[in-house]
Amino acid sequence: MDTNTVTLVVLVCVIASSFIKRAARIPLPLAVVQIATGALAAQAGDFRVSLAPDVFLLWFVAPLLFLDGWRISKKGLLRDKWTVCAFSLGLVIFTVVAAGFFIHWLIPPMPLPVAFALAATLSPTDAVAVSAIAERVAMPRRLMHVLEGEALLNDASGLVCLRFAVAAAVTGSFSLAAAGGAFLWLLAGGVATGASMTLLANAAKDWTARHFGEETGTQILISLLLPFCSYAVAERFAASGILAAATAGIVMSYEEMAGRALAGTRIRRAAVWDALQFLGNGVIFVLLGQQLTDVIARAGQTLRQSGEQGGGRLFLYVLAISGVLLALRSLWTWIAWRLVRPRAGRDGPAAGLSGWRVVAVTSLAGARGAVTLCGVMTLPLALADGSPFPARDLAILLAAGVIVVTLIMANAGLPYAVRGMRVVPAAQELLQEDEARSAAARAAIAALERALQEPEQGSDDAGLSAQAAARLIAHYRRQVELRDPAGAQARHGRTVDAMERRLRLLALGAERDELFRIVRSGRLADEMARKLVREVDLQESRFSAS
């Protein structure tokens, strides 16, 4: 097939897998459905996609990490920074060393540096997969923040370890001192590049917006270019492009909180990035399924050449590696929980969970996903002398198998691990929400009162303006009263909010249906209909996300 046809087939597979997942009677992880869809399409259409390893990192990993950094809870990340570091750095190194030796012992044909490289690709977890599962189960929010922070930072640390392991496999030598210096430069250079690129880009776009006005499309394109530019510049200076992309996302979130962009820009930009995230993850897993048959055949050939038998043995290898990864994560979680719990107090990351639940939930939440796949696909095709990279196809197959097994374990095990647990929102978070909403309402009241004191020049509708402002002020004062922590109506205010939200969604749905009915009857122009429906949609999205 030509390139255009293959691209369209891959996109259709991503869409079809989403339909199949929603129509399935059992709660299958979307990634598993996408892998199966890609494999079936490859067999039916006989097409193959071959991408260079660095293409995976640039076009798939960089934007996904940028978005993770952009949307992660910065407060949660800073609050539990030591716990996050223990998992994102300590657990990664522990996993690479222990799992690397185990894989080499389990599969002697795989050289030790290659086993370390495979273990490095298996060390990052996938926050997107776990977040999708966590939407169906009750899980402490603070623990989810820790898992999300781990998934963001262990992507970078795992891929840095992969770089060292691949260098040792290609060159046949390894220096701990040189690796330590290179690691520091990768870390410092990547962070500095990502931060500086984002700050410069935002300063330039803010200056142009102030002097020439803001254009939404340009703002969106700048955000799309940032992860790729950060990655490319960092790699040009031999720093970590992965860390640069993640850092750029974190800095971008602080820039967004400055509130300089228009509301329409933020809404449209978020929609574009949601689509890009879905597309990026989907294409990765579809491509994996598309290559799975050939990878299995070549991996079996590698084992047969070394005197091993394929088929069932490959399946046992996948189960054994998945089990060891789960055991290592459980051991590390148990140790970290023992150390963190006395210092974190009752409101720590594991609040609401007993000891065994902490270990079970955190261990099962370590599902592997897109970053693992991208990492293993970056294994070079050949060594320095031109000979094929040893056991490359076997490593890809094992990584793909572990992805599937860990996703299934998380999907099946997490609901049982948290069964019967009632997660209550933290009192401090509820208090902060009430304070923020009250402060926003008071600011609105002050603005309305200033508007009443300074009526528009030449306006004949001062009385009507005063009536409208009085109605709005009464609405905001009611919001302040309902959220006054000193009063007895704070809980009552949240209950009223929930009921109002439900009724507003009901009313907005009726509004939209009526607008569609009117436009179908020909009594409303299409352009005006789109405008009115968009207004309703924006209001509905606001109350749906509350």
Instruction: Record the pTM.
Output: 0.80
pLDDT at 133: 61
pLDDT at 546: 54
Q: Is 60 exposed, middle or buried (0-12, 13-18, 19+ CB in 10 A)?
A: buried
Q: Is 160 exposed, middle or buried (0-12, 13-18, 19+ CB in 10 A)?
A: buried
Using DSSP, state whether 382 is helix, strand or coil.
Answer: strand
Indicate the Cα dihedral angle 531, 546, 417, 103, nearest 10°: 60
Q: Is 100 exposed, middle or buried (0-12, 13-18, 19+ CB in 10 A)?
A: buried
| Residue 382 β-bridge partners | 388
What the block records as the tokens of 381 is: 């095709």
What the block records as the tokens of 477 is: 């004062």
Residue 114, phi then psi, degrees to nearest 5: -70, -35
What the block records as the tokens of 443 is: 């600011």
Q: What angle do CA 148, 330, 316 make, to 5 degrees?
A: 105
DSSP 474-499: HHHHHHHHHT-TTSS-HHHHHHHHHH
Tell me how far apart the alpha carbons of residues 143 and 146 are, in angstroms, rounded to a whole number.
5
What string of pLDDT tens digits covers the 546 residues of the chain?
Answer: 677 888 888 999 999 998 998 887 766 778 788 888 988 888 887 767 766 667 777 888 889 889 888 888 777 788 888 888 889 889 999 999 999 999 999 998 899 999 999 999 999 987 666 566 656 666 777 788 788 888 888 877 887 888 888 888 887 776 777 777 877 888 899 999 999 999 999 999 989 988 888 888 999 999 999 999 999 999 999 888 888 998 999 999 888 877 788 777 888 898 899 999 889 888 888 887 887 777 776 666 666 666 555 567 888 999 999 999 999 999 999 988 877 655 555 555 555 555 677 888 888 888 887 778 778 877 887 887 778 888 888 898 899 889 889 988 888 888 788 776 555 555 566 666 667 777 777 888 888 888 777 755 455 566 777 788 788 888 788 777 776 665 555 566 667 777 777 777 788 888 888 888 888 888 877 777 777 887 887 877 777 665
Map out the domains of the chain with their CATH numbers. Answer: 3-424 (1.20.1530.20)
pLDDT at 429: 62
Residues 200-227: b if buried by 16+ CB within 10 A, e if exposed: ebbeebeeebeeeebeeeebbebbbebb
